[in-house]
Amino acid sequence: MKKKVLHTLLSVTFGIGILAASDSSVHVSANEQNSKQEVNVKNLYVIAFQNELPQDYREIIEKAGGEVVKTIPEIGGVEAQSGHSSFLQNLSKLTSIEAANREIPLALNDPTAKLSAQQDSTVNQTEPESYWDNQWDMQRVTNNGKSYEIETGGYTDKDGETVHKAVVGVIDTGIDMSHPDLKNNIVGGRNLVPAGIDESETGDPNDIKDRNGHGTNVAGIIAANGKVKGVGPELGIRSYRVISGQGFAMPAWVIDAIMAAADDNVDVINMSLRLYNNTKMIIEGTTYKTAAETILWKRAIQYAVNNGVTVVAGSGNESLNLDDKNQVNKFLNMIYEPYGIKVEGAATAVPAQLPGVINVSASIKWSTRELAFYSNYGNSAIDVAGPGGDLGPEFAETFDPETADQSCLIFNTWPTYLGSSYNYMAGTSMATPQVAGVAGVVKAANPQFTPAQVTARIKQTALDYGKIGQDPLFGAGEANAYRALNNIK
């Protein structure tokens, strides 16, 4: 019964995301090779060519009845739009194309949103010199700040400038460039949201302004250095904005961001986002395979790993056993049914369950035996856990808002122009940057480490919560910066 109630609660936030995306008639202006065609997000497709893009890829797409919107040439990827019902069938006849499928939007889904204006104003009115006492998560991950004595991710040079020994790419909603706790650690970024999603979206590649708050909070957990602290207070942050102010993104934008981050020589990628790829999706009676999307996700992640990037992603907030494909599909079909969508075949949480990615579940303040009530899990799925927070033990048992304990949430940075400079959040979105921050400081202290070595160090030194050894909830355990830097196994 408890699981049924939980899935009903989660379906509210998840369903809103699907509604905003799949029922949207929003048109966006594409910028592929300076073109300005109008793009309907309902008619977008992902295409994976066999190898690299052929010289006549544009002609191939046009003959099949589509228009090119975005290219990712390093991995043979194309995002295209088409209003022709025969588009996929036409592409399936071409030997140069490995797979193609309809593109399904990705939507943010955190189990707790930002707190009320009254609670935010309380944060603002208090204005202490430090909020360290509010950061139970950071106290735990850094062993009460002792990891800072070993590695912060950078140092201050003789001119008083911060030198970053490692950089974390945050693929998210953007960042507050002027936040006092973040601005010294922001080393740039890129916008991959096209023009026209809403009036604020112009397609400017330099527009990484966070319209949501999610990305700024994630960045703070990694590298805040002010009234709140991150895991690596002197790590560099490079922001890749892929999620619009409406809270959704197309997978091709995220895949493109992975490639961009790898080309920008970041050391770690944080993706506090997820979607589910099924081998078959039926939309309004038409069957689509998601092979192309999966192929391009895998190619992009492999490209990043081959370029020395450690990739970290969240497992998701649906309280699902990711090893149980029937349970996952049952849940997805419950959510998708009102929108004329049905899924079949094996489901994969993307990008978290793909090879080369550290898959993170969410641990909590008050127990080392239980996960956060919302966190996904699975024996073959989870690598490690990170503090994700929740609303306390009574809420986890009853889901009664009257029992909510905000001190069990994760407290960190928030865009200064969205009502408060700091905020409480929870989710695998908050757990993931804890682990990405640990990866960042490990890389800073060991610049010769490969992604496999960074991953092994994090897993081998994690605090062994739950059952002894690898388990379905915590994987190898909760990631810990102090233990990782000291190689305590």
Catalytic residues, by residue number, are: 172, 214, 429
CA-atom Rg of the chain in angstroms: 21
30 to each of 79, 81, 244, how far by Cα in Å? 10, 10, 15
Q: How far is CA 367 from CA 262, 392, 430, 444, 465, in A?
A: 37, 10, 17, 31, 9
- What count of Cα atoms within 13 Å lies in the side-chain half-sphere of residue 273? 28
Q: Which amino acid is at 343?
A: V
d(CA 244, CA 69): 17
User: How far apart (Å, rounded) are the C-alpha atoms in residues 207 and 468?
Assistant: 46
Question: How many CA atoms are closer than 13 Å to the CA of 384, on its beta-carbon side?
Answer: 32
- The tokens of 44 are what? 């977008």
Report, in this order, helix, strand and coil percent for the chain, each rounded to 5.
35, 25, 40
- The token pair at 459 is 């897993």
CA 255 to chain centre: 12
Q: Are strands 106-107 and 97-102 parallel, antiparallel or unpaired?
A: unpaired
> Which structure tokens are listed for 57?
């890829």
